[in-house]
Copies of this chain bind each other. A is one copy, B any other.
Amino acid sequence: MSDRKLRLGAFIMATGHHIAAWRHPGSQIDSGTNIDHYIEVAKTAERGLFDQVFVADSPGLWFEGDDEAFSRQGRVSHFEPVTLWAALAAVTKHVGFVATASTTYEDPYLLARKFASLDHISKGRAAWNVVTTGAENVHGNFGYDKHPDPETRYEKAHEFVDVVKGLWDSFEDDAFSRDPASGVYFDPAKLHTLNHVGKHLKVKGPLNLERSPQGYPVIVQAGSSEPGKELAAATAEAIFTAWTSLAEAQAFYADVKGRLAKYGRRPEQLLVLPGISPVVGRTQEEADAKWAELQKLIHPSVGLSTIAPFWPGEDLTKWDLDAPPPYIPQPPLGRNSRAHVVLELARRDKLTVRQLYEYLAGARGHWVVVGTPQKIADEIQTWFENGAADGFNVMPPVLPESLDDFVDLVIPELQRRGLFRTEYEGTTLRENLGLERPVNQFTVRKQKAA
Contact = CB atoms under 8 A, between A and B. Distances in A.
Interface of A: 20, 22-25, 29-30, 32-33, 35, 39, 58-62, 67, 70-74, 76-80, 82-84, 86-91, 105-107, 109-110, 113-114, 116-118, 120-121, 123, 140-143, 171, 176, 178, 180, 183-189, 191, 201-206, 208-210, 297, 299, 302
A123 B37 CA distance: 13
A59 B91 CA distance: 27
Contacts of A117: 79-80, 83-84
A260 B143 CA distance: 32
Contact of A23 (B33, B91, B183): B183
Contacts of A74: 185
21 contacts: A22-B178, A25-B180, A29-B180, A30-B176, A33-B120, A59-B110, A67-B188, A70-B188, A72-B184, A76-B191, A77-B176, A79-B117, A79-B121, A83-B117, A86-B87, A87-B87, A90-B91, A107-B110, A141-B205, A143-B202, A183-B297
A440 to B, nearest CB: 15
Given A23-B183, A25-B180, 13 more contacts: A30-B178, A35-B89, A35-B123, A59-B113, A67-B189, A76-B208, A77-B176, A77-B210, A78-B208, A79-B121, A86-B86, A141-B204, A183-B299
Contacts of A113: 59, 80
A91 to B, nearest CB: 5
A22 B185 CA distance: 9
A404 to B, nearest CB: 20
Contacts of A78: 208-209
Contacts of A39: 90
Nearest to A299: B183
A143 B201 contact: yes
Contacts of A84: 86, 117, 121
Contacts of A23: 180, 183
A29 B184 CA distance: 12
A77 B33 contact: no
Counting every copy of the chain, the complex holds: 2
B72 A183 contact: yes
Contact of A204 (B24, B88, B106, B140): B140
A208 B61 contact: yes
A145 B228 CA distance: 33
Contacts of A35: 89-90, 120-121, 123
A85 to B, nearest CB: 8
Contacts of A80: 110, 113-114, 116-117, 209
A73 B185 contact: yes
A124 to B, nearest CB: 12
Contacts of A67: 188-189
Contacts of A210: 32-33, 76-77
Contacts of A76: 185-186, 191, 208, 210
Contact of A90 (B87, B187, B191, B203): B87
A71 B178 contact: no
Contacts of A20: 183
Given A77-B210, A91-B91, A113-B59, A83 B176 contact: no
A397 to B, nearest CB: 16
A42 B302 CA distance: 45
Contacts of A187: 71
A221 B127 CA distance: 33
- Ranked nearest first, the 4 interchain pairs of A and B with the lowest CB-CB distance are A140-B204, A143-B202, A86-B86, A83-B117
A67 B120 CA distance: 26
Contact of A121 (B59, B83, B118, B202): B83
A296 to B, nearest CB: 11
A171 B203 CA distance: 35
Contacts of A82: 83, 114
Contact of A71 (B32, B33, B88, B186): B186
